[in-house]
Structure 1
Amino acid sequence: MTPPADIDVLLARIVARRFSIAVIGLGYVGLPLALTAVQAGFEVCGFDTSAARVDGIAAGSSFTTHVSEATIRAALATGRFAATTDLGRLGNYDAVIIAVPTPLTRSRDPDLGHVEAAARAVAACLRPGQLVVLESTTWPGTTTEVVAPILDRTGLRRGQDYFLAYSPEREDPGNKDFRTAAIPKVVGGDGPEAARLAEALYGALVTEVVPVSSTTTAEAVKLTENIFRSVNIALVNELKLIYDKMGIDVWEVIEAAGTKPFGYMPFYPGPGLGGHCIPIDPFYLTWKAREFDFTTRFIELAGQINTAMPQHVIDRLAESLDRAQGIGLSKAEILVLGVAYKKNVDDLRESPSLRLIELLEERSSHVTYHDPHVPVIPDHADHRGLAGRRSIALTPDTIARHHAVLIATDHDAVDYHAIVRHARLVIDTRNICHKVGAMASHVVKA
């Protein structure tokens, strides 16, 4: 039997930056993490199944505005960064970090296909002394119940020959105040030796490491963060619905309530939830809870409320069109402003704007869109009917020819005064017209 890996030697190599890193998944999480590791002095290779993405990164281009091409080119210039589709090279690296998607199935059950495939690729190359870290958001227990058995089948001893940990990603695309290195990193190891290694590695990458007692706890931390947001957003969405009926502006209420210096945290309503985290992650815990014969009522209710918001917006738009112009949606031309799921990004994952377009077209509306960050809607399994649509130019004529402008995403690079000045009707789901001082009688908050 081979002797256990020498932890002290591995820790010393991390300190000396002689501990190479592989990152599986070069998406919104993996790419920023890989570049952060390069900036910290490590040799890094990014792995992805998309040849187009790998070739683009190798050429110094970025698929997202969240990561600048200058940052990628600077990493390539160090000679310590590369990208490849060849998963057979994973054995060449001391740490393997898995940052792949964890979507839901159509029945809203967890889909761990990408995680399992990545774990099998790691297992095919696993060698003594390697640290394997899962970063993908998932249900508590995934690291030890799904990933570990795949790796253990190699015959290597977990906690002695190789080491396993979990550290939830905390990326926030578009947030310029919190880059990867500045965001505290929660780390949970599968055993004390794995915890020491993972904490040391992330300690070399970010300003603060937050150790927790296990991988399961670390997995629960990520779900808790996103469930907290989902439930509170659902609460203000429900408040918006009832306050609308009472003739109360929910935005004014939130703004005034936010002046309380204790016991209150403002959340804001919207046309629905977008991004990969909040609309999806809570259902990972809902699914896992069934194993314990427990119903997560708050989580499921929040999901129902948030999922229903696009339909509320369409109903408000239809009502406003009928009142102001005497036409129905079937005869209306609608300009949707913003298709990204949040302001100032090009990320369309789970964007409520796409659902809004679908709902409008189900009512036979003619729909166009403008988004300064999304010139073309890419192909997506859930919205294939929208693939290839192009953003139209935002001019006084294009604004005026539409019966209504529906503000779904409040990008900064839009002149809202011009929108209000030239539009016949504005449906504002983000309160942006009020924020920029462009309110008018034909602006309807929804």
Structure 2
Amino acid sequence: MKIAIIGLGYVGLPLGLRFAEAGVPVLGLDIDPVKVEMLNKGRSYIKTIESDRVRSACDSGNFEASSEFSRVSEVEAVLICVPTPLSKYREPDISYVLDSGRKIAPYLVTDDRPKLVVLESTTYPGTTDTDLREVLEQGSGLKAGEGFHLAFSPEREDPGRKDHSVRTIPKVMGGYTEACLKRCVELYSKAIDAVHPVTSCRLAEATKLTENIFRAVNIALVNELKVVYHEMGIDVWDVIDAAATKPFGYMPFYPGPGLGGHCIPIDPFYLTWKAREYGQHTRFIELAGEINTRMPEYVINRVMEALNNEGKALKGSKVLILGLAYKPNVDDDRESPSYVLMELLEERGASVDYHDPFVPEIKLTREHAQFAGRKSLDIGEGPEPAIIGYDLVLLATNHAAYKELDFSTLNCPLVDTRNWIVRRPARYYKA
């Protein structure tokens, strides 16, 4: 069996490498010619994926990248791993999914066994068996479940994790028909240790949304508690650590400066949007979204308090943000709250630089194009960071490297949104 994977980003690339390592020939498809060229030379553009893995997969003959979607005619299965962002009106944007469907539809026709199409991108229930199915049927002239097989199997990728991998994370999957599901189970069982079939595409789609809504709601809860407890003079991180000693009935979640990544800030709104079609209002989920969205504003208020204590205004101050990635020890900056913090600070007249050992330069993004080209500040490699001439330092991402640094001699306030700094300066604030 040879398969194609559309979208060679944080989801598609590790998935493709896993299949290649399991002996399944993989054709990686991406519209970015730079990515295609790098991968075919055995080089990775994602820091958490070693170039040695890419090179080994290419050398084995089991992995090749291309921009030619017509080559779908060569494969037996196509896995779609493309972005599903929100529009500027916070409505689902499945255009990348549908465009992928249109590109591959003409090449689904085969005299052999029907091809399998699997959507992995997170989306609302009904996308696979309605929106994507219609595009594929119209473009191919085939009927889903007969001329081609169709399924949904949500990605569960978490960049940077060492305790779990694509191979070991159980794979949920639902098919348009029983035959579609059988093909999907057959395919993923070649590369994944455990698969979990469910009765429909919509159930599988709802499973992925539920996983991320669970996290979003619980993060919103501790974010709200952080604000409340601060006013009471109570440290929310100490509260969480104490509560976590209970061996049942409690699971620790931690506050932060806002949500980041391509899942948790976005996925809940896919369900709230779809629920309105059924006359349902997801008030609990929407409230959690409001709380999490307000966190950057809360951080800015703490920054202003810290500067006020220095007799300074935010306008005209120089601020250094530590951490641009949305989570620690990766180069993934998708939906990072650090960008929102930068915007809010500059709107209020501050001058902002950033440092991130994993993001040396800001690439062009859809939402924050104005920051493209900015480079990470050099703070040296010694135990004491070389931070001179700033009125305030704001820690936004809890990279391991920052925990090792000695900030005790820092001559300006430090606002820590992650309770991360160990060797703290005299003017230390949590936010």
TM range (shorter): over 0.9
TM-score (norm: length of structure 2):
0.96
- Report SS of the residue matched to 2:58: helix
Q: Give the one of 428, 435, 445 matched to 2:416.
A: 428
- Report SS of the residue matched to 1:165: strand
**Preserved CA contact (<8 Å) 1:166 1:219:** yes
| Corresponding position of 1:365 | 350
| Corresponding position of 1:145 | 130
**Preserved CA contact (<8 Å) 1:57 1:83:** yes
Instruction: Write the distance in 2 (CA, Å) between the matches of 1:159 and 1:362.
Output: 53
| Corresponding position of 1:276 | 262
Matched, 1:328 2:313: yes
Partner AA of 2:393 in structure 1: V
Once the two structures are superposed, residues 141-181 of structure 1 have per-residue CA deviations (whole angstroms, 9 ceiling, x without a partner) of 10011111122222323222211000000000011111111
Q: CA deviation at 1:24?
A: 0.5
Summarize the Cα distance change of 1:416–1:329 in structure 2 as closer, same or farther, 3 Å threshold.
Answer: farther
| Corresponding position of 1:44 | 26
| Corresponding position of 2:397 | 409
The correspondence of residues 268-417 of structure 1 with structure 2, limited to 5 A, is 268-323=254-309, 325-395=310-380, 398-414=386-402, 416-417=404-405
Q: CA deviation at 1:306?
A: 0.5
Partner AA of 1:431 in structure 2: N
| Corresponding position of 1:10 | none
Which aligned runs of 4 or more in structure 1 are off by greater than 3 angstroms?
395-398
Partner AA of 2:11 in structure 1: V
**Preserved CA contact (<8 Å) 2:123 2:205:** yes
> Which runs of 5 or more structure 1 residues have no equivalent in the other structure?
1-18
Q: How many aligned residue pairs are there?
A: 424
The correspondence of residues 118-157 of structure 1 with structure 2, limited to 5 A, is 118-128=100-110, 129-153=114-138, 154-157=140-143
| Corresponding position of 1:3 | none
| Corresponding position of 1:70 | 52
| Corresponding position of 1:94 | 76
Q: Which 10-residue stretch deviates more, 227-236 or 154-163?
A: 154-163
Instruction: Write the distance in 2 (CA, Å) between the matches of 1:347 and 1:229.
Output: 19
Instruction: Write the distance in 2 (CA, Å) between the matches of 1:96 and 1:164.
Output: 10
Instruction: Write the distance in 1 (CA, Å) between the matches of 2:328 and 2:411.
Output: 21
Q: CA deviation at 1:423?
A: 4.1
The correspondence of residues 145-184 of structure 1 with structure 2, limited to 5 A, is 145-153=130-138, 154-184=140-170
**Preserved CA contact (<8 Å) 2:303 2:415:** yes
Once the two structures are superposed, residues 234-278 of structure 1 have per-residue CA deviations (whole angstroms, 9 ceiling, x without a partner) of 000000000000000000000000000000000000000000000
Instruction: Write the distance in 2 (CA, Å) between the matches of 1:411 and 1:397.
Output: 14
- Report SS of the residue matched to 1:329: coil
- Report SS of the residue matched to 1:180: coil
Instruction: Write the distance in 1 (CA, Å) between the matches of 2:347 and 2:411.
Output: 23
Pairwise CA RMSD? 1.2
TM-score (norm: length of structure 1):
0.93
**Preserved CA contact (<8 Å) 2:403 2:420:** no
Q: CA deviation at 1:400?
A: 3.5
Instruction: Write the distance in 2 (CA, Å) between the matches of 1:68 and 1:118.
Output: 27
Partner AA of 1:282 in structure 2: P
**Preserved CA contact (<8 Å) 1:340 1:348:** yes
> Which runs of 5 or more structure 2 residues have no equivalent in the other structure?
none
Q: CA deviation at 1:364?
A: 1.0
